Chains A and B, each alone.
Chain A
Amino acid sequence: MVGEEKLRRSASFDPEFKWEVSARPGGEHLKTCFACGVCTAGCPVAEIDPAYNPRRIIRMVILGMRQQVLSSEMIWLCSTCYTCYAHCPQDVRFTEIMKVLREMAVEEGYVHSSFLECISRVDRLSESLRRQMLMEILPHRGEGVEIEERDLLTRALRNLEDR
């Protein structure tokens, strides 16, 4: 809670923020969150980046930390895997809220509009890389071979360039 406490003190609060988010398509269930932490504990991004915390982002929106949230790098890290959406007992639909926050960040000038296009290119590239890596190991699926993931990545990149 230490980090949250610090943020709260330094923040300027905008009580309208939560209403604006929940008025947008996808944001409707924001305020039903009861902070159980199931979203964070199941999130694959939080697993590799402990600073990324869906539950905390929701708290910050509800508290009205508009500027801190919309300017934060955090809102761009979500991989839209929908795990939290499926697990949440309150049907908060965090993945959709994340999309709302991104829209608002663009509209309010926190990010350049070309950034969105850039993110979707990154997403497409990660998908292609994942597919290439799988193509490398699929032929061995009956044998249980040991494969070094970094080699896989290098090979996958090479294959992509060759195409």
Chain B
Amino acid sequence: MVTVDVVVLGGGAAGLAASRTLLGRGYSVLLVEKEGHTGGRAAGYACKATDDCQQCQVCLVADEARALTGADQLKMLVFSSLKGVQNQNGSFQLDVAQGPICVDPQRCILCGRCVDACPAGAIRLPPPGFPPASASVDPEICRARNAQTCRACVEACPTGAIDLQAAARTHRVRCRAIIVATGFQPFDPRQLPRLGYGRVPGVITAEELERRMRGDPGGLAAFKRVAFVQCVGSRNVTLGRGYCSQVCCRYALRLAARLRRDDPGRRVAIFYMDLQVSGKDVRMRWEELGRGVELIQGAPASIVAGEAEVLVRYEDLRQGRVRQEPFDLVVLSVGMGASPHNVELARLLGLNLDPHRFFATQERGHGSTSRRGVWVAGSAAGPTDIGGAIRQGRSVALAVARQLEDRRHA
């Protein structure tokens, strides 16, 4: 049995910020993360600085993660998720299921020899700066865990950190409050076949572009004509997603500016219905970011493969003419949707979901729910950018601290 003050579900921007704030106030925290490392979606995104910082906020997530190093009141379970909840007069008893942990984080020195040795590609290192600082083995892909004989990684590891026989476990946890920070799911553009994703080579999602720009920006050099398509899976009543995802115009403008910086000779166009960029620095940013990036008003109706290019068909609203233009790469600016796991999690925790299946909170950004002791932070409650997720994580943590404090005095 593990006993802590607060369990934080999800180690993205919101969960990291909530954990940091609670630890700073002297509370003990168990961070439960579904994947092999913290950081959430943004851990895979690129810094979009041109000559100046563009304030895309991606590095803020690493800052939150870094602040957790050495915190002795912090426990962390990766490859873990909630399986059961019991409410016992004001406190909770949780069952957390954890997949097999084949690499001992105490011994792993992140040398990466296991990654090179694995013939199945089952081992990954975490993105730098996101704990736990340990390689991880995907048990689904690992040959040794799937009735084959392979000891390549075990032999390659200089510190003997790898145990391929490790078993899955269930942890029983007692806590006084729960913060749900389990994030969002990007829209899957296969639901809009007319946009070609998965069928037309050269059509990718913005998340894929973020990852490629982070991992191998040089690999993008071949793309001399790049188009962004806005509102893919946002503001679409017909798909049951009538809301604005709030982040796509801003990330697309910044990705576009970075693409132009990396190659000033390349064409970068953004197709939009109307741009939703809010905040106090909008006008300035707008002109600054828009420099050299073509903004084309007109939502594309279809994207098809040309001979060696991708053809985007749209109505040029200024002229009232239908046009088809060639690009080398088309980036779909996918919106933020609710995670499909929310339904199960809401059932376990006794929470309500809003009509779009995000967690319903009593006050937006404040994070209290209909269940006393259970709070929601970040994009699990609806679309928000990294800064918003961090702010919500902090403010929810402060509210939780206040509640725990009150009870201590009562």
Contacts and interface: CB of A to CB of B under 8 A. Distances in A.
A4 B320 contact: yes
Contact of A56 (B301, B318, B320): B320
Nearest to A50: B321
Given A89-B236, A91-B237, A41 B317 contact: no
A42 B302 CA distance: 7
A53 B238 contact: no
B315 A40 contact: yes
Contacts, number: 68
Given A1-B318, A4-B320, A55-B315, A37 B238 contact: no
A65 interface: no
- The CB with the most chain A CB atoms within 10 A, among B238, B274, B314, is that of B238
Contacts of A38: 299-301, 315
Given A1-B320, A38-B299, A41-B322, A89 B235 contact: yes
A91 B238 contact: yes
Contacts of B220: none
B236 A41 contact: no
- The CB with the most chain A CB atoms within 10 A, among B273, B318, B319, B320, is that of B320
A38 B299 CA distance: 6
B233 to A, nearest CB: 10
Contacts of A35: 273, 317
B239 to A, nearest CB: 8
A3 B319 CA distance: 9
A70 to B, nearest CB: 20
Interface in A23-75: 32, 34-42, 46-47, 50, 53, 55-56
B299 A88 contact: no
A37 B298 contact: yes
Contact of A34 (B273, B298, B315, B318): B273
Contacts of B236: 89
Contact of B322 (A1, A4, A47): A47
Nearest to B323: A41
B211 interface: no
B194 interface: yes
B203 to A, nearest CB: 16
Interface residues of B, number: 24
Contacts of B239: 89
B153 interface: no
A89 B319 contact: no
Given A37-B298, A37-B315, A41-B313, A90 B238 contact: yes
A38 B235 CA distance: 13
Nearest to B324: A41
A37 B318 contact: no
B231 interface: yes
A89 B322 contact: no
B115 to A, nearest CB: 43
A37 B317 contact: yes
A89 B315 contact: no
Contacts of B300: 38, 41
A50 B315 CA distance: 10
Given A34-B274, A89-B237, A91-B237, A41 B318 contact: no
B274 to A, nearest CB: 7
Interface string B292-320: 00000011111000000000011111111
A55 B299 CA distance: 12
Contact of A87 (B194, B237, B298, B317): B194
A50 B320 CA distance: 9
B194 A42 contact: yes
B289 to A, nearest CB: 22
Given A42-B194, A88-B238, A91-B238, A36 B299 contact: yes
20 contacts: A4-B320, A36-B273, A37-B299, A37-B315, A37-B316, A37-B317, A38-B301, A40-B301, A41-B313, A41-B314, A46-B322, A87-B301, A88-B238, A89-B231, A89-B235, A89-B237, A89-B273, A89-B299, A90-B238, A91-B237
Given A1-B319, A41-B298, A88-B238, 19 more contacts: A1-B318, A32-B237, A35-B273, A36-B299, A37-B298, A37-B314, A37-B315, A37-B317, A38-B299, A38-B315, A41-B301, A41-B315, A41-B322, A50-B321, A50-B322, A53-B315, A53-B320, A55-B320, A89-B299
